[in-house]
Amino acid sequence: MKNKVLLVDDHKSATHELATLLKNNDYEVFEARDGLEGLEALKINQDIKLVISDHYMPNMDGLTMCEKIRESKDFGSVIIFVATTEVSPEAKTRGKNLGVKAWITKPYDPELVLKVIKQIGL
């Protein structure tokens, strides 16, 4: 069974290369355009293991989505990475307090992200 990864970003170009890399490395990839779509994707695919989300998106930002994930009993074990241009200590601290396991600054190297994913055991 393939590990399932959800990529949440309002810029399709930001996820295309990473989605292709993950698919080529035997991951099943789902995509959402904002935090609301991300939560819906998690409800439909409750065996998603990892969420990689942008922070700044319309409708619901990434950290608010992370907060909703952590509030839900259904998604409590999901691993979360944030991939964003945001570098403020306040945002990073908020992410850490929400259980974000990796804060990846854009532009990022997809191969490095894949390495971090494998380091967490997926």
Q: Is the pLDDT of residue 44 over 80?
A: yes
- Domains with residue ranges and CATH for the chain: 4-119 (3.40.50.2300)
Q: Is the pLDDT of residue 28 over 90?
A: yes
Task: Please answer whether residues 75 and 30 qualify as being in contact, where contact means their C-beta atoms are separated by less than 8 angstroms.
Answer: no
Task: Please give the model's pTM, rounded to 2 decimal places.
Answer: 0.95
Q: How many whole angstroms separate alpha carbon 79 and alpha carbon 57?
A: 20
Q: Is the pLDDT of residue 76 over 80?
A: no
Query: DSSP string covering 24-37, please?
Result: HTT-EEEEESSHHH
pLDDT of 108 over the 90 cut: no
